[in-house]
Amino acid sequence: MKIEKVIEELKKIKAKRVFIQYPEGIKRNILKYAKILQENSIEPVMCLESTYGACDVREYEAKLLKCDALLHVGHEDFGVKTEIPIFYVDWFIEANPLICLEKNFDKIKKYQNIGLVTSVQFIHMMKPVREWLENHNKKTFSYTHQQYEGQMLGCRVQAGKKIEDNVDCFLCIGAGKFYGLGLALETNKPMLNLDIEMNKIHDMKDIVNKINKITAWNLEVVKDSKTIGFLITWKKGQMFGSPFIIKKKLEDMGKNVYVFAMDEMTIQKLDFLKVDALVSFGCPRISTDDLEKYKIPIINFTELIKNNIFKK
Ligand code: SF4
| Whether the CB of 52 sits within 6 Å of ligand 1 | yes
Say if ligand 1 is within 6 A of residue 72 CB: no
The kind and range of the H/E element at 99 are: helix 97-103
Tell me, in angstroms, the distance from the centre of ligand 1 to residue 114's CA. 25
- Residue 240 CB contacts under 8 Å (≥ 6 apart), including other chains: 281, 282, 284, 301
Domain 3-89 has CATH 2.60.120.20: no
- The reported pLDDT for the residue numbered 56 is 94
- CATH class entry, domain 97-203: alpha beta
Are 97-203 and 208-311 equal in CATH topology?
yes
- pTM higher than 0.85 for the full model? yes
Distance 154 CA to ligand 1 centre (A): 5
Helix 31-39 to helix 3-12 angle (10° resolution) is: 50
Q: Are 42 and 130 in contact (CB under 8 A)?
A: no
Residue closest by Cα to atom 2 of ligand 1: 283
Name residues whose C-beta falls within 8 Å of residue 15's C-beta, 6 or more positions apart in sequence. 42, 68, 69, 85
Cα three-residue angle 28-128-101, rounded to 5 degrees: 80
Q: Report the phi/psi class of residue 66: left, alpha or beta, with left for phi > 0 and alpha for psi in -120 to 50.
A: left
pLDDT for position 201: 97
Give residue limits of the domains in the chain.
3-89, 97-203, 208-311
238 C-alpha to ligand 1 centroid (Å):
7
Nearest to 90, CA basis, from 182, 172, 170, 26: 26
| Closest atom, ligand 1, to C-alpha of 75 | 5
Best substitution site from 146, 151, 155, 183 to test ligand 1's pocket, by max atoms within 8 Å of Cβ?
A: 155
DSSP string for 178-236: HHHHHHHTT-SS-EEEEETTTTEEEE-HHHHHHHHHHHHHHHHHHHH-SEEEEEEE--G
The CATH number, out of the four listed (1.10.3190.10, 3.40.30.120, 3.30.70.20, 3.40.50.11860), of the domain defined by the range 208-311: 3.40.50.11860
Q: Which atom of ligand 1 is nearest to the CA of 240?
A: 7
What is the widest separation between alpha-carbon atoms in the chain?
A: 63
Which of 179, 232, 238 to mutate to test ligand 1, by most ligand atoms within 8 A of the CB atom? 238
Which residues in the chain come in under a pLDDT of 70? 311-312
